[in-house]
Amino acid sequence: MGSRKTLMKQNYPLSFLIPAGVMLAIFFIVPTVMNFIYAFTDWSAFKNTINFNGVDNFVTLFKDGTLMRDIRITLIYAVCIAIFQNVFGLLLAVLLEEDTRLNRFARVMFFIPVIMSALAVGYIWQAVLKTDGALDQMLSLILGHHVTTGLLGNTTWTIVVVSAIQGWKWMGLAMLIFLAGLKTIDSDVIEAARIDGANGSQLFWKIKFPLLAPAFTFNVATSLLGSLNGFDMVQAMTKGGPGGSTEILNIFVWRTFGQGLYSQSTTMSMILFILVAIIALPVIYLLRRRERNVF
């Protein structure tokens, strides 16, 4: 036993962990710890000293309504994206499942938004959707009278529109992951189900969909995390407006930081950290357990 341990040490020296460990410690763990400290201070651009002020930041943010509003918006945004991205991705995967020339071409085309910057995608869709933008122009032309949809100026629905665009950007990746999942399904299983008389929709919902569990986990987890940490797309499309109705947490962090209110910015950053920890971790755990139950 003792010699096995020394062999382990000899063959797999812990020193190999040092470079990654140092980088992670300095540039990830230390800032995270600092985040939990500075959230309780009055750090700002307007003072030379930094003093502890307890939960003042939380009280201020809670009282003016920003805290709960931004948490709510961030959650709505994340859930909408998880739905859009996966529904779009799954529909595309089912539609493009067969290896025909057209389908292969379509798969490549749907992957282009994935490699573009979210900022660029945001500007393009802003131009399509803004008042008197390309969509309004097209509808006016088709209907023969002036139409304004106002999709980016609605305090209730704009957040859903923005998340749909985020879903549009990433649906190509979700599609690929689902396609890979469909490819790994054993054709014998499909054959057996068909002999048993399963029709198309039964085949999909009873056999293929459950077997897509790992792809589903990956897609839900990445879309949830990506959207909780979102910024570029919303900043490009609405900058948090109209009336703060699309202000996800990172938009607040950036806006408040720009105003010199560093500690409030840090407080929201910490809230985001906690939000991700209490939402993403259990969701990923549950989806993983679901995978194990399927196989």
Partner 1 sequence: MSSTSFSAQNSEPKKPKASTKPAGPKWHRVGHDLLVIAIMLVLLAVPFWLLIVTAGKTQAEALELNMSLPHKWMLFQNFATVIHDGRMIPAFFGSVIITLPAVLIAILFGSMASWILARRATKPVAFLYALGISGLILPPAVVTVMMLLKMIGLSGTAVGMICVYVGIYLSTVIFFVTGFIRTIPPSLEESMRVDGAKPARIFFSLILPLLSPTIATATILLILYIWNDVFYALFILSGKMDTLPLNLYNVASAGLYLNNWHLIFAYIILMSLPLLIIFALAQRKIISGITGGAVK
Nearer to partner 1 (CB atom), residue 159 or residue 270? 270
Is residue 256 exposed (0-12), middle (13-18) or buried (19+ Cβ within 10 Å)? buried
The residues in 165-204 that bind partner 1, with binding defined as CB under 8 A, are 168, 173, 176-177, 179-182, 184-185, 187, 190
Cα(262)–Cα(189) distance, rounded to whole angstroms?
A: 58
Within 10 A of 75 (CB to CB), how many other CB atoms are there?
A: 16
CB of 292 to partner 1, least distance (A): 14
Question: What are the φ and ψ backbone dihedral angles of 156, each rounded to 5 degrees?
Answer: -95, -45
Cα(246)–Cα(241) distance, rounded to whole angstroms?
A: 6
Q: Which stretch binds partner 1 (CB under 8 A): 59-67, 72-80, 147-155, 262-270?
A: 262-270
The residues in 90-119 that bind partner 1, with binding defined as CB under 8 A, are 95-100, 102-103, 106-119
Within 10 A of 110 (CB to CB), how many other CB atoms are there?
A: 20
Among positions 69, 157, 254, 290, the unique one binding partner 1 when judged by CB under 8 A: 254
Looking at the chain, list the stretches that DSSP marks H as alpha helix, in order from N- to C-terminal side.
2-11, 18-24, 30-38, 56-63, 66-95, 101-115, 118-129, 134-143, 158-184, 187-195, 200-202, 209-211, 213-228, 232-237, 249-258, 262-294
Q: How many CA atoms lie within 13 A of 19 on its CB side?
A: 2
Nearer to partner 1 (CB atom), residue 38 or residue 77? 38
The residues in 25-44 that bind partner 1, with binding defined as CB under 8 A, are 26-32, 34-35, 38
Asked if 152 interacts with partner 1 (CB under 8 A), we say no
CB of 98 to partner 1, least distance (A): 5
Q: Which stretch binds partner 1 (CB under 8 A): 13-21, 59-67, 70-78, 147-155?
A: 13-21
Assess whether the previous peptide bond of 210 is cis (omega < 30° from 0).
no
CB of 62 to partner 1, least distance (A): 19
Nearer to partner 1 (CB atom), residue 24 or residue 68? 24
Binding mask 54-73 for partner 1 (x = CB under 8 A): --------------------
